[in-house]
Amino acid sequence: MKRTLLAVSLAMALPLAAVQAQTVPTAAPPPASSEGASPDQHADKVKQLGAVDVTAALDQSRNALSPDTGSSQYVIDAKAIAQLPLGDSTPLNKVLLQAPGVVQDSYGGVHVRGDHANLQYRVNGVILPESISGFGQTLDARTIKSIKLLDGALPAQYGLRTAAVVDITTKSGHDLGNGGSVGVTAGSFGTLNPNASVWGNSGNWSGFFTANYMENDAGIENPTDSRKPIHDHTNQVKAFGDITYLIDNQTRLSFLFGLSNNRFDIPNNPNQTPQFGYLDITDFDSAKLNERQRENTRFGLLALQGKLGSTDYQVSVGQRYTSVNFIPDLVGDLMFNGVASNVSRDNRASTLQADFSTPMGDAHTLRYGLYGSFERAGSGNDAWVFPADADGNQTSTTPVNIVDNNRLTAKTWSAYVQDEWSIGEKWTVNYGLRGDWYSLARTESQLSPRVGLIYQATDNTTIHAGYSRYFTPPATEMITTSNIAKFDGTTNAVSNPGNATPLAERSDYFDAGISQNVTPSLTLGLDTYYRKVHRLQDEGQFGAALVYSTFNYQRGHVGGVEFSANYDEGPWSAYFNLSYNRAMGKNVITSQYNFSVEDLAYIADHYIHLDHDQKYTSSGGVSYAFADSTRIGANYVFGTGLRRDGEVPNGDHLPAYFQLDLSVSHDFNFDSTGKLHTQLALINALDRTYELRDGTGIGVGAPQFGPRRGLYLSLQKDF
């Protein structure tokens, strides 16, 4: 299992096998999914040996574009994903929980090192523009050859979204040969998840395609502790493709594309009391609400990667479209919330990215590049509300309609230059400068210095430290003061419009750590970090619609410690993570309309915990293989609980939780059809009921509970 902690840029801190997995991805043996290939398929791979060699060399060149110096890294490969209880059916957010410092939240969200979202996704080195926040996952684990999670003091190459970089290397037809796979996962809560993949190569062409369909009756976290949620069906479709053409031995053209189309019923919380009357109706059964949400994402990326003289380069253009539409229950939402909003948000982003790497003698490597993004975003709110007096009391049971639409344009330009300087055999310094310029309702910019230091104390001990200045623009979706004013004199009026324009966050990030190879099979890592923040960004769910809004605290500070252990030898593999985090903010300076006057007054003079702050977080797992055909495994997640309101906003935390997942897999070999992979997973084996959110806290709209016990069977056949 390649589940590897790296605290440095130099691979010499790792065992040789791990070095190969990190720096020469295509030098590793084909993944398990190709082991069932026929003799004819192996013959095809021999014929394409030249193309495979060229692909491996280009992969090495692409790796040279991205330095590792000064940041913390955690690598999860396809084998490690396959050993999770749900295997390749595991959602991407659950895969990331194997890394230290990653905290689970409701609605499929994760938080890294005390940040809300702020993740950057890269596919084969190309930035994938972020989608509008929603429930669904856009990327699928079946596409993944390996994931590298980078956080801490990142080099100048990485910017804008900096809580962590999720760098995904996808599977390739050149690596896998010619073949495919079909399978299905089915089980509790009406789960049905068929999937199909096909891959292959011919001459200089190669391709990898995968698609799957998911439906179940537990699409979003249950707002109650009951075993089965009410009104929680989901239908989800995902697809991904990678078509690659080798122009020559030093040049490759790739087209990556994907889509997701997700439909969710919003689960109901029964026995709630209506707060408003509607015409002549005074009662409404909250268990019969019919709220729904639709989410669509499509993206395409065209990348040219190669070598000019001694300079490695990758230039790409791309476009991503995403939309979210919340459909209310007109009568029910009016009676419970005083507003029924059909909320729609869409965003189309066009991007340009160019990265270069040029060796400068034996001791220096110069890296430089630029990134540009042009976004067109739309926000629509077709709302029904009741007239109200100055105190917010309903004055009529007849609703009125308010239409609130706007279009926004956002532009981003970034450039960086950095030098990786090798000083003797033990020291490496990466220093650089990054510039970011962002324009939406206002224009903001920043020059950000970065420096990272590596000390190779011994062959098995590596120490790193780094500093990064960060600039994080707000999400493109925003509300204007004129939009807010439309609801004056209604049950959706706000008491304090405040400053409706979110601001870019600016922070100073300090990070230091050590990585120790105790044996070739056991690696330990310890990392500590501190972030001092000006205009700290956070997001919350405000109102009935389950979409997020950005706001800023004037000041904030985040700090913590992470420990990680990884073991892989013979039939055994195991990992363990434990992290401590403290994230605080003070004085809300934007989007005050989302808060009560009392909360704003307290936060103005006091630091409070951010709603997603969790003091202690741990994850781990162990796996054992019997011969080559059977494997058993156990994985867990633990947390001391996210924040909830106490005597002050976010002044308390929810009870600690522990979820244990078990699995067993076996490969059956049939003379007529070959190998059939089977995997049985028991999720939340102890059936411990735990609450992720209780509906209180800054920006928390409803309670959400973790999953109840579920049994799932996966069948997978390669061909």
Q: What is the DSSP string of 480-494?
A: -HHHHHTTTTBTT--
- Quote the CA–CA distance of 235 and 142 in Å, as a whole number: 18
Q: What is the DSSP string of 106-161?
A: STT-EEETT-SS-EEEEETTEEEPPPPP-SS-SS-GGGEEEEEEEEES--TT--SS
Nearest CA to 659 out of 97, 110, 245, 144 is that of 97
**Alpha-carbon dihedral 428, 63, 157, 127, rounded to 10 degrees:** -160
Per-residue pLDDT at 596 = 84
Q: Which residues pair with 622 in a beta bridge?
A: 574, 634
Any idea which residue has 């904030």 for tokens?
556
Any idea which residue has 């120790």 for tokens?
516
Nearest CA to 229 out of 161, 291, 151 is that of 291
How many CA within 13 A on the CB side of residue 38? Answer: 10
How far, in Å, are 388, 495, 606 from residue 276 at the CA level? 11, 19, 35
3-state secondary structure of 198: strand
Per-residue pLDDT at 686 = 96
- Quote the CA–CA distance of 457 and 77 in Å, as a whole number: 28
- Quote the CA–CA distance of 300 and 257 in Å, as a whole number: 4
| Per-domain boundaries in the chain | 3-170+295-718
Per-residue pLDDT at 485 = 79
- Quote the CA–CA distance of 103 and 99 in Å, as a whole number: 9
Amino acid letter, 238: K
Mean of the per-residue pLDDT values of the chain: 87
Any idea which residue has 């985090």 for tokens?
581
CA dihedral sign, ordered 705, 577, 103, 528: positive
The distance of Cα 306 from the centroid of its chain, to the nearest Å, equals: 29
How far, in Å, are 65, 215, 389 from residue 126 at the CA level? 11, 30, 53
Please indicate whether residue 73 or residue 210 has the higher confidence score (pLDDT). Answer: 210
3-state secondary structure of 178: coil
Please indicate whether residue 375 or residue 549 has the higher confidence score (pLDDT). Answer: 375
Per-residue pLDDT at 72 = 79
Does pLDDT of 533 surpass 50? yes
Per-residue pLDDT at 342 = 92
Does pLDDT of 572 surpass 70? yes
Please indicate whether residue 129 or residue 81 has the higher confidence score (pLDDT). Answer: 81
Q: Which of 404-408, 413-417, 602-606, 638-642 has the lowest mean pLDDT?
A: 404-408
3-state secondary structure of 20: helix
3-state secondary structure of 49: helix
Per-residue pLDDT at 477 = 67
Cβ-Cβ contacts under 8 Å for 419 (sequence gap 6 or more): 360, 364, 365, 366, 367, 430, 431, 432
CA angle 516, 518, 520 (to 5 degrees): 105
- Quote the CA–CA distance of 233 and 537 in Å, as a whole number: 32
In this structure, which CATH number among 1.10.357, 3.30.200, 1.10.10, 2.40.170 belongs to the domain 3-170+295-718? 2.40.170
- Quote the CA–CA distance of 158 and 127 in Å, as a whole number: 10
**What band does 133 get if pLDDT is binned at 50, 70 and 90?**
low
The distance of Cα 231 from the centroid of its chain, to the nearest Å, equals: 26
- Quote the CA–CA distance of 379 and 623 in Å, as a whole number: 47
Q: How many helices (H) and strands (E) does the chain have?
A: 9, 35
Q: Which of 484-488, 515-519, 624-628 has the lowest mean pLDDT?
A: 484-488
Amino acid letter, 360: M
Does pLDDT of 374 surpass 70? yes
- Quote the CA–CA distance of 210 and 205 in Å, as a whole number: 17
Q: Which residues pair with 564 in a beta bridge?
A: 525, 577
**What band does 328 get if pLDDT is binned at 50, 70 and 90?**
very high
Does pLDDT of 13 surpass 70? no
**What band does 440 get if pLDDT is binned at 50, 70 and 90?**
confident
CA dihedral sign, ordered 422, 424, 428, 430: negative
Structural tokens at position 542 = 């405000």
Q: Which residues pair with 327 in a beta bridge?
A: 292
**What band does 542 get if pLDDT is binned at 50, 70 and 90?**
low
Of the chain, the percentage scoring pLDDT greater than 90 comes to: 68
Per-residue pLDDT at 239 = 95
Per-residue pLDDT at 23 = 31
Does pLDDT of 7 surpass 50? no
How many CA within 13 A on the CB side of residue 127? Answer: 28
3-state secondary structure of 460: coil
Instruction: Report yes or no: 257 and 134 within 8 Å, Cβ to Cβ.
Output: no
**What is the arithmetic mean of pLDDT over 512-528?**
93
**What is the arithmetic mean of pLDDT over 62-84?**
81
Please indicate whether residue 170 or residue 29 has the higher confidence score (pLDDT). Answer: 170
- Quote the CA–CA distance of 466 and 448 in Å, as a whole number: 13
Per-residue pLDDT at 6 = 47
Structural tokens at position 217 = 């009756």
Nearest CA to 590 out of 475, 674, 435 is that of 475
Does pLDDT of 50 surpass 80? no
Cβ-Cβ contacts under 8 Å for 601 (sequence gap 6 or more): none
Does pLDDT of 19 surpass 60? no
**What is the arithmetic mean of pLDDT over 437-445?**
91
Structural tokens at position 153 = 């003091």
Instruction: Report yes or no: 317 and 521 within 8 Å, Cβ to Cβ.
Output: no
Q: What is the DSSP string of 378-433?
A: EEEEEEEE-BB-TT--B--SS-EEEEEEEEEEEEEEEEEEEEEEEETTTEEEEEEE
Amino acid letter, 576: F
Per-residue pLDDT at 108 = 80
Which of 57-61, 293-297, 555-559 has the highest mean predicted lDDT (pLDDT)?
555-559
Does pLDDT of 398 surpass 90? yes
Structural tokens at position 87 = 């295997």
- Quote the CA–CA distance of 680 and 666 in Å, as a whole number: 9
Pairing of strands 119-123, 164-170: parallel
**What band does 413 get if pLDDT is binned at 50, 70 and 90?**
very high
How far, in Å, are 105, 117, 152, 580, 703 from residue 149 at the CA level? 18, 14, 10, 18, 30
Q: Which of 2-6, 23-27, 267-271 has the lowest mean pLDDT?
A: 23-27
Of the chain, the percentage scoring pLDDT greater than 70 comes to: 89
Greatest Cα pair distance, the chain, in angstroms, is 83
Nearest CA to 619 out of 659, 583, 588 is that of 659
H-run or E-run covering 314: strand 311-327
Instruction: Report yes or no: 472 and 160 within 8 Å, Cβ to Cβ.
Output: yes
First to last CA, the chain: 24
> pTM for the whole thing?
0.87
Q: What is the DSSP secondary structure assignment for residue 41, as one 8-state letter? A: H
Amino acid letter, 277: G
CA dihedral sign, ordered 502, 504, 510, 513: positive
Instruction: Report yes or no: 171 and 26 within 8 Å, Cβ to Cβ.
Output: no
Structural tokens at position 605 = 């003079």
- Quote the CA–CA distance of 545 and 629 in Å, as a whole number: 48
Instruction: Report yes or no: 525 and 560 within 8 Å, Cβ to Cβ.
Output: no
How does pLDDT run across 85-130, given as a tens digit for each residue? 999 999 988 999 999 999 998 888 889 999 988 889 999 999 987 7
**What is the arithmetic mean of pLDDT over 712-716?**
96
Please indicate whether residue 708 or residue 442 has the higher confidence score (pLDDT). Answer: 708
How far, in Å, are 126, 189, 278, 601 from residue 384 at the CA level? 42, 34, 11, 30
Per-residue pLDDT at 594 = 79
